[in-house]
Amino acid sequence: MQGRAALVTGGSSGIGLAIARALGEDGYALTLSARRPEKLEQAAAGLRADGIDVDAVPANMAEEQDVLDLVAAHRDRRGRLDVLVNSAGLGIGGPIAEHETRKLDMQIAVNLRAVYITTRECLALLKEAGAEHRKALIVNVSSISGKYGQSWLAAYSATKAGVVGLTQALHKEHSTDGIQATALCPGWVDTAMTEFIKEAVPAEEMIRPEDIAGAVRYLLSTSPNCVVPEIQFIRPGETL
Ligand SMILES: NC(=O)c1ccc[n+]([C@@H]2O[C@H](COP(=O)([O-])OP(=O)(O)OC[C@H]3O[C@@H](n4cnc5c(N)ncnc54)[C@H](OP(=O)(O)O)[C@@H]3O)[C@@H](O)[C@H]2O)c1
């Protein structure tokens, strides 16, 4: 897709990086963002080594000004936005009875509030792309725990359910502008985020980040008449 551009948050590792790589391989010019600059730059360098056009823009998604600056940087550099991928996120486990407010607030800030603000700030550019080709796309990385709340992950589950609700509302408000919105809802994916569970669920039995990236390719391959509101990804034997 020469001449098209994408913005990927959480792009320095895991699911965001796999989606960024797929989009870059398919010709999208990328703005890649994440919190830690060094890790982000390393990821961007890896993509550039494979011929992908990448700008790396660090941002702490918990800070509104960082989000505004990120979108402005993308707008200034690329001038258009065809695909927005909201993948930045974190999970902090623990029983509800013991979960400190600061942990709740951090997950709400990054997993939900930042997705809302980033999307809001990108809508004008996405509308322009939608008017041009009727296939602008917002990919919100939710979780299977946003569909079926999980014990020990209550705050995380609640933020991810919020992302599903936001995605549904986006469809109602903006699908006739040529902007499609999809919530991706995976179970365990083999990334840095799932290191803590890999003794119980071996990495090789987890969903691959490339599986999620392949789904984004699929979403971009359908006709403008076909909206996919949500995709769930689970493992063999997984109970919901
Ligand atoms: N892995 C799974 O099993 C799974 C399942 C369902 C949904 N998800 C969701 O998938 C998304 C990506 O997670 P992942 O599995 O790919 O994990 P990951 O490899 O740990 O990647 C997380 C990404 O989010 C960024 N990030 C975290 N906090 C941030 C903040 N405050 N500001 C900016 N960027 C921040 C990280 O950057 P830094 O490293 O610099 O902080 C990193 O680029 C998340 O939304 C997660 O909730 C994951």
30, β-bridge pairs: 6, 54
Average pLDDT over residues 60-66: 98
pLDDT at 164: 98
Q: How confident is the model at residue 2 (pLDDT cuts 50, 70, 90)?
A: confident
In testing the pocket of ligand 1, which one of 8, 9, 15 has its CB within 8 Å of the most ligand atoms? 15
Average pLDDT over residues 221-238: 97
- pLDDT at residue 176 tops 90: yes
Helix-strand-coil percent breakdown of the chain, rounded to 5? Answer: 50, 15, 35
Give the closest residue (by CA) to ligand 1 atom 17. Answer: 193
Pocket of ligand 1 (CB under 6 A): 10, 12-16, 34-36, 39, 59-62, 87-91, 110, 141, 143, 186, 188-189, 191-194
User: For residues 1 and 138, what is the distance between their CA atoms, to the nearest angstrom?
Assistant: 16
Is the pLDDT score of 75 beyond 90? yes
Q: What's the average model confidence in pLDDT over 94-118?
A: 98
148 is catalytic: no
Parallel, antiparallel or unpaired: strands 54-56 and 230-233:
unpaired
% of residues, the chain, pLDDT over 70: 100
| 199's tokens | 């003794």
Dist. CA 139–CA 146, nearest whole Å: 15
Q: How far apart are the first and last CA of the chain?
A: 37
Atom from ligand 1 closest to the CA of residue 13:
19
Residue 87 CA, ligand 1 centroid: distance in Å? 6
What ligand 1 atom has the least distance to the C-alpha of 61?
32
Domain 5-233 belongs to what topology? Rossmann fold (3.40.50)
Of all atoms in ligand 1, which is nearest to the CA of residue 189? 3
Per the prediction, the chain carries an average pLDDT of: 98
Candidate list 28, 116, 156, 218, residue with the active-site label = 156
CA of 192 to the centre of ligand 1 (A): 8
Domain boundaries, the chain: 5-233
CA of 227 to the centre of ligand 1 (A): 25
Per-residue pLDDT reduced to its tens digit, 113-169? 999 999 999 999 999 999 999 999 999 999 999 999 999 999 999 999 999 999 999
Q: How many whole angstroms from its chain centre is CA 7?
A: 10
Confidence of residue 1 (pLDDT cuts 50, 70, 90): confident
pLDDT value of position 205: 97
pLDDT at 86: 99
Alpha carbons 238 and 240: distance in angstroms, whole number? 7
**Where is 140: in which H helix or E strand?**
strand 136-141
What DSSP line would sit under 150-166, residue for residue?
-TT-HHHHHHHHHHHHH
Stretch 165-181: mean pLDDT, rounded?
A: 98
pLDDT at 240: 83
pLDDT single digits (tens) 17-28: 999 999 999 999
Taking the centre of ligand 1 as the mean of its atom positions, its distance from the CA of residue 90, in whole angstroms, is 5
191-217 per-position pLDDT tens digit: 999 999 999 999 999 999 999 999 999
**What is the distance in A from the centroid of ligand 1 to the CA of 222?**
27
